[in-house]
Amino acid sequence: MLFAAPHRAMFLAGMAMLLATFALWAIELAARAGFAPSPGWPLPAGWMHALIVLGGVFPFFIFGFLFTAMPRWQGAPDLGTRDWLWPWRLLAAGWALALPGLWLPWLLAVGLLFVLAGWGACLRILWRIAYNRHPDPFHARTVWWAAAAGGAAVAAWLGFVLTGDGLWARTAIAAALWGFLVPVFATVSHRMVPFFSSNVIPDYVMVRPRWALRLLVAASAAHGALTAAGAGHLAWLADAPASAVALWLSVRWRPLPALRVPLLGMLHLGFAWFGIGLALFAVQGAAAGLGHHVLGLAPLHVLGVGFFGSVLLAMVSRVTLGHSGLPLVADRLTWGLFLGLQAVVLLRVAADLVPWVWSAATMLAAVLGWLGLFAAWSWRYLPSYWRARADGKPG
């Protein structure tokens, strides 16, 4: 049953990567706080954390979602197991090698070669779907180009491991965050949040102008390019209008009525962090231009923990329930875990914004909170991936 549908194997691998990745990061932060010995990574710990989170955790969930949803967006048949199984095997084998490769750089390079091969195979599948003859391919093609930027980020990571040149690592982080993850999460939200809302909220008017998504994607690409070029202090020129548009969409999508249905409200709350994060980036960039360094990593964690983390938990829960033949209802555990995640966002941001809160121990507490919440979430949803659908349907 694990290989009966692409989301099953992809989501399971993503959950395993998430738990392993943040367990390693918790060990690193415990060492910084003086509670444990250093893991002794030969490469910079922060960059290695970025590598496995941006390139190893989120992509499994993204490909699992896209392999499930994009054929439906494009009016194409569902993917068969033979279409996606080998790409999954390459990605899973690559990261199985890459994790111990954090201590053995030559093994990390081999693992990234496998990941790059699997990523390319995923792009080939998605290209065939996105560039079919469907009359409205806008979202599918936008996501494909974002996924291609993610593949370029993996190639840049490989360049860093092989050469040790930090320029490759900085380029990889910019491409993965601003070229891949932000456009993918923005595009999926732009398509799905109004659609789901229209099925639940009475007299709902669907608002998803294409100019808004184009602006968000272009601003994200501009931020990444400026950061990679060493001109990150100018990125606020892109972040400011993008934050205004993201916050405008949040309001127009009517989050208050959506909160009456927790599974839908989770998506609305997750997207709201997007506009807040971009606004913080704009403030940080404008202040940097005036010679003031403020906010630390708060904007980054509002995006990563707040926007990406919240939307991931909400969307993967929804896909898992729907494709397991179960009611589309967030139970009390799922809703409680989501609210706990919002507390983790606030704790992690406070570590950067409130001087007396900042400490390695506070950051460790936030990571342990994240890890505990997603461990409970995995315990709740993992069995769905190896069990038959409750309604007896295939897939």
Q: Where are the alpha helices (DSSP H) in 290-331?
A: 298-301, 309-322
State residue 218's pLDDT score.
98
263: alpha, beta or left? (left if phi > 0; alpha if psi -120 to 50): alpha
The DSSP secondary-structure symbol of 296 reads: T
Q: What is the CA radius of gyration of the chain?
A: 20
Locus of tokens 């606004």: 279
DSSP sequence for 62-80: HHHHHHHHHHHHTTPPPPP
Q: What is the Cα–Cα distance from 389 to 395, expressed in whole angstroms?
A: 7
Q: What is the Cα–Cα distance from 134 to 117, expressed in whole angstroms?
A: 28
Predicted TM-score (pTM) of the model is 0.96
DSSP sequence for 74-124: TTPPPPPHHHHHHHHHHHHHHHHHHTGGGT-HHHHHHHHHHHHHHHHHHHH
Residues 26-61: tens digit of each pLDDT: 999 999 888 888 888 888 999 999 999 999 999 999
Q: What is the Cα–Cα distance from 173 to 51, expressed in whole angstroms?
A: 8
Structure token pair of residue 351: 């570590």
Other C-beta atoms lying within 10 Å of the C-beta of residue 89: 14
Tell the CATH topology of 6-385. Answer: Cytochrome C Oxidase; Chain A (1.20.210)
Structural contact between residues 295 and 350, judged by C-beta atoms closer than 8 angstroms: no
Phi, psi angles (nearest 5°) of residue 167: -60, -40
Structure token pair of residue 326: 């179960």
Other C-beta atoms lying within 10 Å of the C-beta of residue 58: 23
Give pLDDT < 50 ranges for the chain: none
Q: What is the Cα–Cα distance from 111 to 94, expressed in whole angstroms?
A: 4
State residue 358's pLDDT score.
66
The DSSP secondary-structure symbol of 355 reads: T
The span from the first CA to the last CA of the chain, in angstroms, equals: 8
Q: Rounded to the nearest 10 degrees, what angle do helices 332-353 and 309-322 cross at?
A: 170
Other C-beta atoms lying within 10 Å of the C-beta of residue 158: 20
User: Which residues lie closer than 8 Å to 390 by C-beta, 6 or more apart?
Assistant: 324, 325, 326
